[in-house]
Amino acid sequence: MNGPIDPAAFFDPATHSFARVAVAVPRCRVADPAFNAEQSVALLQQAAREGAALVLFPELGLSAYTCDDLFHQRAVLDGCEAALARIVDASAGVPTVAVVGLPLRVDHSLFNCAAVVQRGKLLGIVPKTYLPNYGEFYEARQFNPADHAQSAAVQLLGQTVPFGAGLLFEAEDVANFKFHVEICEDLWVPIPPSSYAALGGATLLLNLSASNITVGKSAYRHALAEAQSARCLAAYLYSSAGQGESTTDLAWDGQALICENGQLLAESARFAADSHFISADVDLERLARERLRQTSFGQSAARHGEQLATLRAVRFELGLAPAPQALLRRTVERYPYVPANAASRDARCHEVYNIQVQGLTQRLSASGIRKVVIGISGGLDSTHALLVCARTMDSLGLPRSNILGVTMPGYATSPRTLDQAHRLMRAIGVEAREIDIRPSCEQMLKDLGHPHAAGEKQYDITFENVQAGERTSKLFRLANFNDAIVVGTGDLSELALGWCTYGVGDHMSHYNVNASVPKTLVKHLVRWVAESETALVTDAQVLLDILGTEISPELVPGDAAGQPGQSTESHIGPYDLHDFFLYYILRFGFAPSKVAYLAHAAWHDAALGAWPEGEHVQRQAYDLATIKQHLRTFLFRFFKTSQFKRSCVPNAPKVGSGGSLSPRGDWRAPSDSEATVWLDELARIPDA
């Protein structure tokens, strides 16, 4: 095991494989390279002060894109080389890599190029591969495409510099920091050069663009950059020309984008009057792990070996200084399964419900069964499952009375949850029954010789599970008797933590609609129905009352005032954190130290970040010591004690890309593994 992580290092984003990147949009002047260089130098220096490892500039930024036939003027070309020299000089001693655009003469031809500069050196020159020559573009009039070049290296500013479209720039001192450069139109073709670069290992794909603005073009750039980052499992940085380009026939909005695996991390204000840049922290480990997980990525690389053989590596050292107090420059959602934006959340809830309904509809249709049996506790999970059953019956054209809802009070059932169970069943219009399980539990406890049968108050695991088992037995026998199937209610969070009794209702059923829905999402699904799907229930208030009920198994008697004797979250910790842990461990396989770092970034200050809009959520904050405490619980329960329960769960539909725990789907693991490596890694984390 490695030693403890130094507290200062723990709070440095780079420790957790984040790399800060920037995209700059300098104000320019047409055919004024000296002015353009000074604007770029100022932005480079600002990006360096903010800890950026790389800063990207627009296409032909040192000359301006709109020079037209001025590109054939020696004064302009000489001025651009002098401007490049100014940037190279300014980069001396600066670790930040600058990627700038300019026209360059090579082999008696003119190329639209990107120059990669760092620490007073030219690391490489990348010419544009595809030249647009349609609509408002006439680049073939002045420039040659990359494959017309004869030289693989050029002499420039007293240096021998690699030259070509297939250069991959790799930092030797930062894992997975490898980038490729393409220029504007290169992204707009069916197979962009960056696609091959990604297969060759590039995690950062850069695009210097000019891209005049027309109606609808901004959204199309979004679509291109986000799709390319998703398809290539990479980050995609995009810069376009802004204020100062010629408006003889065109206009410019200066749009800058940073995307990561299909998600937008940062975007600039468009039509800005002054020079500006955006930055974000790209998760290099996340990209590498996605490529590892998605085995078809490696298969695709193997199939394109001939193209990948043309790529050339350019290695360098970043040598970035540690930044222990740097705040992570990206949004880390507190609820990764629940969109913070209200409209996005409503769309997510609508889709989740339809996936669950489609799954149950198909199961009933395929089996020829027209009825379902479901246990109703008056709590969250059974409420959500009952709502899914109701919509399923509606979609099949069957009466809701084909749902047999059964509430089964026991020794610890509170008046509140019993009342909520009955109100819920009335509001949905199911066939409702109540079965008191205490007589059958008394017989079972007597048969076992349990002290409770002799009048002692021994509320042990046997006492609890006798109740759970009696409820399950009755559900299955009711299903037999009514030619129905039992619909399960246990959720993803409970499966992850093993917070379910083996072989009983929260674990076993004929079909479970909730098995891949985490607890935090269940809450929002129920609230969404209460607020927007009023046709499902005649009394939406009962759903809000259920949302306000403390989560409890209600298996140990409470106090005289009717308060429950058990609190789930007091025992195992808050589901808010457990669902956060589950997402990053199940979906990405991150180490505990990184999960804790991300949780701290999201949860350490209740005043920071976005909370779900329109929700009455508790604005809770958790310090690092508390996060460690609950993460230890999660790791032990998830990896050590609970897999045997997950290895035999019923069929259930997968609803989200965050993963499921079905042994037939996303998660296959031995039931008797150890949690040592995770707990040892957790022990490396400082307390504060």
Interval 628-644 mean pLDDT:
97
DSSP assignment of 73-135 equals: -HHHHHHHHHHHHHHHHHTTT--SEEEEEEEEEETTEEEEEEEEEETTEEEEEEE-S----ST
Task: Output DSSP code: residue 625.
Answer: H
Tens-place pLDDT, residues 381-410? 999 999 999 999 999 999 999 999 999 999
Q: Residue 657: what pLDDT?
A: 83
Give the bridge partners for 315, in sequence order.
Answer: 170
Q: How does residue 658 score in pLDDT terms, banded at 50, 70 and 90?
A: confident
Phi, psi of 569 (to 5 degrees): -70, -25
Task: Output DSSP code: residue 452.
Answer: G
Q: Are 322 and 53 in contact (CB under 8 A)?
A: no
Name the region of 669 (left: φ>0; alpha: ψ -120 to 50; beta: rest).
Answer: beta
- ∠513-516-520 over CA atoms, to 5°? 105
Q: Residue 608: what pLDDT?
A: 83
For strands 256-260 and 235-239, give the pairing: antiparallel
Tens-place pLDDT, residues 44-101? 999 999 999 999 999 999 999 999 999 999 999 999 999 999 999 999 989 999 999 9
Token pair in block for residue 55: 């800063």
Closest CA to 538 of 616, 406, 425, 639: 425
Active site residues: 59, 128, 184
DSSP H or E run through 371: strand 371-375
Q: Residue 615: what pLDDT?
A: 64
Domains of the chain (ranges, CATH numbers): 20-316 (3.60.110.10), 342-683 (3.40.50.620)
Percent of the chain with pLDDT over 90: 91
Helix or strand or coil: residue 680?
A: helix
pTM, two decimal places: 0.95
Tens-place pLDDT, residues 556-574? 998 877 778 889 999 999 9
Percent of the chain with pLDDT over 70: 99
Interval 292-307 mean pLDDT:
96
Q: Residue 326: what pLDDT?
A: 85
Q: How does residue 420 score in pLDDT terms, banded at 50, 70 and 90?
A: very high
Checking if the pLDDT of 1 tops 60, the result is: no
Checking if the pLDDT of 537 tops 70, the result is: yes
* Locus of tokens 């008191």: 436
DSSP assignment of 538-581 equals: S-HHHHHHHHTSPP----S---TT---S--HHHHH--HHHHHHH
Gap between the Cα atoms of 128 and 193, Å rounded: 10
Q: Which residue has the higher pLDDT, 179 or 614?
A: 179
Gap between the Cα atoms of 552 and 499, Å rounded: 11
Gap between the Cα atoms of 602 and 174, Å rounded: 25
Residues 6 or more apart whose Cβ sits within 8 Å of residue 605:
621
Gap between the Cα atoms of 176 and 291, Å rounded: 12
Q: Residue 609: what pLDDT?
A: 80
Q: Residue 561: what pLDDT?
A: 73
Tens-place pLDDT, residues 195-228? 999 999 999 999 999 999 999 999 999 999 999 9
Q: Residue 257: what pLDDT?
A: 98
Helix or strand or coil: residue 243?
A: coil
- ∠662-665-671 over CA atoms, to 5°? 50
Q: Residue 659: what pLDDT?
A: 83
Tens-place pLDDT, residues 311-349? 999 999 999 999 887 899 999 999 999 998 889 999 999
Tens-place pLDDT, residues 435-464? 999 999 999 999 999 999 999 999 999 999
Residues 6 or more apart whose Cβ sits within 8 Å of residue 42:
26, 275
Strand order in the sheet with 371-375: 431-434, 403-407, 371-375, 484-488, 511-512
Closest CA to 63 of 36, 90, 100: 36
DSSP assignment of 285-352 equals: HHHHHHHHH-HHHHHHHHHTHHHHTT-EEEEE---PPP-TTPPP-S---S-TTS-SSHHHHHHHHHHH
DSSP H or E run through 462: helix 461-481
Task: Output DSSP code: residue 650.
Answer: P
Tens-place pLDDT, residues 571-600? 999 999 999 999 999 999 999 999 999 999
Gap between the Cα atoms of 17 and 27, Å rounded: 32
Q: Residue 616: what pLDDT?
A: 66
What is the number of other CB atoms lying within 10 angstroms of the CB of residue 215?
6
Average pLDDT, the chain: 95
Q: Are 537 and 529 in contact (CB under 8 A)?
A: yes
Q: Residue 614: what pLDDT?
A: 66
